[in-house]
Amino acid sequence: MSEKKLFGTNGIRGTVNVELTPEMAVTAGCAIGTFFGKKNLLIGYDARTSGPMFAKAVSSGLTATGCNVFLAGMAPTPALQFAVKNHKMDGGVIITASHNPPQYNGIKVIWSDGIEISHEQETEIENIYFQQKTQFADWKHLGAVHELAGINSEYIEAMKTHVDTTKIAEKHFHVVVDAANSVGGLAAPVLLRDLGCKITSLNANIDGTFPGRMPEPRPENLEELAKTVKALGADLGVAFDGDADRSIFVDETGQIHMGDKTFAVVLKQFLLENPNAQVVTPVSSSTLIKDTANAYKGEIVWTKVGSVTVSQKMKEINAKLGGEENGGVFYGPHQAVRDGAMTTALILGIMAKTGKKLSELVAEQPQYFIEKGKIECSEDKKPKVLEKLLEQVQGMNINTLDGVKIWFDDKSAILVRPSGTEPAYRMYAEAKTSERAVELVNEYTSRLKKILETI
């Protein structure tokens, strides 16, 4: 195994021309091409200013190793993932830094099923990259470069087959779409128009400097959307992240709902239609998801935190639904990956079918108070801290897939987990009262402090 890392928790990612340079992208392309071995690969990018530069650099590396490259151009990540599968490609590369600020970019590698490659496969590519094991093709066997137009329209058409288009169209929903000046604007507005919606667009022009808002759909970035939905009396607002695989919704009163709540809306309807189904979600998800699964006869399959893990597990057990608290919903009948536009169509389908507004659908759910905490912890101490904490919580209702999640009898819960990106432990507590959530974070912060003093 290589000591050095190229892939982080979200593929290869870094600031443009500082941490991630065109030279690295060419070499990464060579390593990815060697890993696949003279195959057909699709490549596309989000709206960042460096997208075409990195797409061309990676393409050069791929063709140098004999892979044929199909240039799809600018597209949402889920549209590229859908196209890899739809066009029977052997894999794909997506140039995106998802929700990061505009000075970042990244390289994601997709397998033939449209799902990101596993961490083991990433390690194989890293070994080729760092040990210079690239297998160059001779001049007669270089890969060819083709253009593949129209993947966004194919993706939009496919999504329409998974919802009741007539029922949605009858409602003439007014939807405000905040596309973050990125690729979310290339699919969702067209899909919604086809679904008979009236659309008001925010940040719809493609601009890789992201002048409208930062691409992370956090509440502080969505105030304009919330105000617009309320002021116009629209039925729904939706905001995408930079590559449009995640979506966060605003109800007709202007209230922003984080991903757990809208995932629970989708989950309830799904279980009403698919009783006893399995649903995949990371241990970071709210107890709300567990409650919904219990109430509507679903079985939760927990995973570690991370969208690739959810996708892989869905595929392994043939589950049709997955979801994350950050606004990622995975609808298997379309594709087992996060998909912002598909989630929007599902939510509209539920509003049309039930005749309920999003605020009503959310108000039906059990309510929880959330409290977050963080404590510094160096990388070398992380495993020992977890080991000591696990000794303390033995016998409690726990899950140890990723850090430790503890459920208590009063319906409160806490996840204590080493951060994947920082020298720290993070805590997410939820409870029926805010006092209890705060109390849990305080209790586990002091437990971790004491452990840190002894190791």
Is 285 designated active site? Answer: no
Q: Which of residues 317-356 bind Mg ion (CB under 5 A)?
A: none
Please state, in angstroms and as integers, the Cα–Cα distance from residue 198 to each residue in 159, 308, 329, 436, following that order: 18, 34, 24, 43
Question: Out of 122, 245, 260, 324, which residue is the one contacting Mg ion (CB under 5 A)?
Answer: 245
User: Residue 426 Cβ, how far from Mg ion at the closest point, in Å?
Assistant: 20
Binding flag, residue 100, Mg ion (CB under 5 A): no
Q: Which of 60, 98, 247, 311 is catalytic?
A: 98
Under rule CB under 5 A, residue 216 binds Mg ion? no
Please choose, out of 90-98, 181-189, 210-218, 389-397, the segment that lies near Mg ion by the rule CB under 5 A: 90-98
Tell whether residue 292 is a contact of Mg ion (CB under 5 A). no
Per rule CB under 5 A, is residue 46 in the interface with Mg ion? no
Stretch that binds Mg ion, among 132-140, 182-190, 243-251, 408-416 (CB under 5 A): 243-251
Q: How far is the CB of 310 from Mg ion (least distance, A)?
A: 13
Q: Any contact of residue 247 with Mg ion (CB under 5 A)?
A: no
Q: Please state the closest distance from residue 77 (CB atom) to Mg ion, in A.
A: 6
Under rule CB under 5 A, residue 307 binds Mg ion:
no
Euclidean distance between CA atoms 450 and 455, whole angstroms: 9
Residue 183 CB, nearest distance to Mg ion (Å)?
10
In DSSP terms, 300 is beta-bridged to: 279
Nearer Cβ to Mg ion, position 98 or 309? Answer: 98
What is the SS3 string spanning the chain?
CCCCCCCEECEEEEEECCCECHHHHHHHHHHHHHHHCCCEEEEEECCCCCHHHHHHHHHHHHHHCCCEEEEEEECCHHHHHHHHHHCCCCEEEEECCCCCCCCEEEEEEEECCCCECCHHHHHHHHHHHHCCCCCCCCHHHCCCEEECCCHHHHHHHHHHCCCCHHHHHHHCCEEEEECCCCHHHHCHHHHHHHCCCEEEEECCCCCCCCCCCCCCCCHHHCHHHHHHHHHHCCCEEEEECCCCCCEEEECCCCCEECHHHHHHHHHHHHHHHCCCCEEEEECCCCHHHHHHHHHCCCEEEEECCCHHHHHHHHHHHCCCEEECCCCCEEECCCCCCECHHHHHHHHHHHHHHHCCCHHHHHHCCCCCEEEEEEEECCHHHHHHHHHHHHHHHCCCEEECCCCEEEECCCCCEEEEEECCCCCEEEEEEEECCHHHHHHHHHHHHHHHHHHHHHC
Integer CA distances (angstroms), 342 to 54, 158, 222, 334, in order:
27, 9, 20, 8
Choose the binding region for Mg ion from 52-60, 94-102, 227-235, 259-267 (rule: CB under 5 A): 94-102
Residue with smallest beta-carbon separation from Mg ion: 98
Contact with Mg ion (CB under 5 A): which of 122, 243, 324, 430? Answer: 243
Using CB under 5 A as the binding rule, the residues of this chain from 350 to 409 that contact Mg ion are none
Identify any residues that bridge with 425 across adjacent strands, giving them in sequence order. 375, 418
Binding segment for Mg ion among 18-26, 234-242, 270-278, 349-357 (CB under 5 A)? 234-242
Question: For residues 78 and 189, which CB has a smaller minimum distance to Mg ion in the complex?
Answer: 78
Sheet holding 413-418, edge to edge: 369-376, 424-431, 413-418, 404-407, 397-399
Question: Taking CB under 5 A as the rule, does residue 228 contact Mg ion?
Answer: no
Nearest-approach distance from CB 9 to Mg ion, in angstroms? 12
**430 in contact with Mg ion (CB under 5 A):** no
Q: Among residues 129 and 240, whose Cβ is nearest to Mg ion?
A: 240
Nearer to Mg ion, 169 or 258 (CB): 258
- Residue 150 CB, shortest distance to Mg ion, in Å, is 23
Asked whether position 116 contacts Mg ion by CB under 5 A, the answer is no
For residue 307, the minimal CB distance to Mg ion (Å) is 8
Count residues contacting Mg ion (CB under 5 A)?
Answer: 4
Q: Which two tokens stand for residue 203?
A: 């940040």
* Residues composing the chain: 455
Instruction: State which of residues 122, 235, 241, 339 lies at the interface with Mg ion (CB under 5 A).
Output: 241
The residue (of 243 and 325) whose beta carbon lies closer to Mg ion is: 243
Per CB under 5 A, the list member of 98, 105, 152, 247 interacting with Mg ion is 98
Task: Give the Cα separation of 411 and 421 in Å (integer).
Answer: 30
Nearer to Mg ion, 128 or 225 (CB): 225
CA gap 397, 391 in Å, rounded: 13
Compare residues 206 and 300 and give the one whose CB is closer to Mg ion.
206
Q: Which is nearer to Mg ion, 177 or 386 (CB)?
A: 177
- Is residue 126 within the footprint of Mg ion (CB under 5 A)? no
Q: What minimum distance in Å lies between the beta carbon of 237 and Mg ion?
A: 18
Tokens of 150: 């129209």
Q: Which stretch in 10-18, 92-100, 212-220, 278-286 sits in contact with Mg ion by CB under 5 A?
A: 92-100
**Between 126 and 339, CB nearer to Mg ion:** 339
Minimum CB separation of residue 277 from Mg ion in Å reads: 26
Residues that bind Mg ion (CB under 5 A): 98, 241, 243, 245
Catalytic residues: 98
